[in-house]
Chains A and B, each alone.
Chain A
């Protein structure tokens, strides 16, 4: 569990999640948490799976798995060290209502972050206080939309560009495509002046700055949502559909990449 701080080589290269800026940022923000190396950093993964194989084509259950990032990188993604923390059963996928199910898990995580629990260390034969932090979630793109409460379909499908996503509605293909990648180039790049080779016009917009966690929190804290089946009403459309349940964790809005 302490391998990430004292068991490995540190030579300035990226080798483990502990080298990443996000990990270091948490350590520096919460000094008390960061100073004890045995405190756990977890990753949460979820995806739909069909338990019945060929017997049913539509069934989908959602296991929620926890990954311990403290372990060395050749162990932490092994089946033996991945914990099945809960199982969202049901013939249908939960969709946007997924937040209802992990609330006991989030409650536990909250308790583990605020106070911690007493755990026995069998190697040194002492009790110690264990605290846990949820570092990120791992999921595919539709589940990403469900967990974060962002609408990942339609014109503004990219969560990182958010409102500044550049899209183009194709008239004949009847699809939305996200083309203008030239805006991410450096300002003096020759591609910016070309017209014929790209979409017929020069590009002068700059790349949109990605949102930080606090900005996202400010946007979603006003959103009202009722879970479950409701009558559809034609209200104001918002690209943020809900305030994700992960924001109940006090550190969640401090993370730069949450999902």
Chain B
């Protein structure tokens, strides 16, 4: 669960260029130069200012408006997720106050729809396939013969992400995607081993605390 949430968080942060969450910036471009790849992204000094060439995952303002506008128009059944419309801020063009469940819904269903028609085809395909991969491993019934296929898919996806996204995008959570399928193969389902029910349970415990001096007693 946390893998999915954190990956989704960093994808959205990087795409919408949200301050504090984006993984792309001048230092990321400098690192690319240091590694000797994608030299066309090299920062160019113009007098006092520095010009950062747009990467393939950078969105223009109009594309951001179309992305956020698409998410703003989404209506979901009651109890499915929180009201997505209230999470999108059209002034700052970013998403705010998402809960982990909202990231789950975004990753499973909404993100492939929202990025329709705004990226170069290859980047769009990678993100869509990543969403489909997460959708496939969260199913309630899995065919064990398909697991090999899924594992290969995960690795190829990560390689393609490496081709398009800056290296600072790849923190440990992104790396753990490789091992997810192995865990399913050995230990069984994702939905029996994820944290959502546990966190829900903890929220209920939190509500039991009426006397802040003795919180444990009020839970028990």
Q: Could you tell me which residues of chain B, from 151 to 184, have a CB within 8 Å of some CB in chain A? A: 152, 155-156, 158-159, 162-163, 167-176, 178-179, 182-184
Q: Provide the residues of chain B in CB contact with A19, threshold 8 Å.
A: 144, 188
Contact digits for B16-45, partner A, Cβ 8 Å, 1 yes 0 no: 000000000011101100111110000000
The answer to whether A141 and B2 touch across the interface, beta carbons within 8 angstroms, is yes
A138 contact from B27, B198, B219, Cβ within 8 A: B198
Q: Using CB atoms and an 8 Å cutoff, list the residues of chain B in contact with chain A.
A: 2, 26-28, 30-31, 34-38, 140-144, 152, 155-156, 158-159, 162-163, 167-176, 178-179, 182-189, 191-195, 197-202, 204-206, 209, 212, 215-216, 219-220
8 Å CB contact of B206 from A21, A53, A179, A184: A53
* Segment of A92-100, A104-112, A120-128, A170-178 engaged in the interface with chain B: A170-178
User: What chain B residues lie within 8 Å of A160 (beta carbons)?
Assistant: 179, 182
Which of A17, A170, A181, A196 sits near B31, CB closer than 8 Å?
A170
A61 contacts which of B184, B187, B215 (Cβ < 8 Å)?
A: B215
Once the chains bind, are B141 and A197 in contact (CB under 8 Å)? Answer: no
Q: Interface on chain B toward A: helix, strand, loop, or mixed SS?
A: helix
Given A49-B206, A158-B175, A181-B175, CB of A87 within 8 Å of CB of B34: no
Cα of A227 to Cα of B132 in the assembled complex, Å:
44
**3 nearest A-B residue pairs (beta carbon):** A20-B188, A17-B188, A172-B27
Closest to B5 in A: A140
Q: Is the CB of B187 within 8 A of A136?
A: yes
Chain B residue with minimal CB distance to A45?
A: B198
19 contacts between A and B (CB under 8 A): A17-B192, A21-B186, A47-B198, A51-B206, A51-B212, A82-B197, A87-B216, A87-B220, A135-B187, A136-B193, A138-B194, A170-B28, A174-B27, A177-B171, A181-B155, A181-B175, A186-B152, A198-B163, A210-B179
Question: What residue in chain A is nearest B200 (Cβ atoms)?
Answer: A79
Q: Within residues 143 to 168 of chain A, which ones have a CB less than 8 A from any CB in chain B? A: 152, 157-158, 160, 168
Distance in Å: Cβ of A59 to nearest Cβ of chain B: 9
Cβ–Cβ contact A177 & B167, under 8 A? yes
CB distance A43 to B193 under 8 Å? yes
Q: Which residues of A have CB within 8 Å of B2? A: 140-141
Give the contacting residue for A158; candidates B26, B176, B199, B201; CB below 8 A: B176
Q: How far is the CB of A3 from chain B (nearest CB, A)?
A: 14
Query: A181-B162, A197-B37, A200-B35 given as contacts; is B201 within 8 A of A65 (CB)?
Result: yes
Please classify the interface of chain A as helix (H, G, I), strand (E, B), loop, or mixed, using the class held by over half of its residues. loop
Contact present for B205 and A89 (CB under 8 Å): no
**Residue A13 lies at the interface, judged by CB distance under 8 Å to chain B:** yes
Q: How far is B189's CA from A20's CA once the two chains are assembled, in angstroms?
A: 8
Contact partners of B156 in chain A: CB under 8 A: 185, 191
Q: A: which residues have CB within 8 A of B?
A: 12-17, 19-23, 43, 45, 47, 49-53, 55, 61, 63, 65, 69, 73, 76-79, 82, 84, 87, 89, 135-136, 138-141, 152, 157-158, 160, 168, 170-175, 177-179, 181-182, 184-186, 191, 196-200, 210, 256-257
Is B167 a contact partner of A89 (Cβ separation < 8 A)? no
Closest residue of chain B to A73 (Cβ to Cβ) is B192
B193 x A63 contact (CB < 8 A): no
B27:A173 contact, CB within 8 angstroms? yes
Q: In whole angstroms, what is the CA distance A52 to B174 when docked?
A: 32
Contacts of B178 in A (CB 8 A): 181, 184
User: Is the CB–CB distance between B199 and A47 below 8 Å?
Assistant: yes
Given contacts A14-B142, A157-B172, A177-B171, contact A170 B27 (CB under 8 A): yes
- B152 / chain A contacts, CB cutoff of 8 Å: 186
Residue contact B155 to A77, C-beta cutoff 8 Å:
no
- B173 CB, min distance to chain A CBs, angstroms: 7
User: How many Å lie between the Cα of A69 and that of B199 in the bound state?
Assistant: 18
Are the CB atoms of A63 and B28 closer together than 8 Å?
no
Query: How many angstroms between the C-alpha atoms of A34 and B209 in the bound complex?
Result: 41
A138 neighbours in B (Cβ, 8 Å): 193-195, 198
State in angstroms the CA–CA spacing of A13 and B188 once bound together. 11
Q: Which of A55, A170, A182 contacts B212 (CB 8 A)?
A: A55
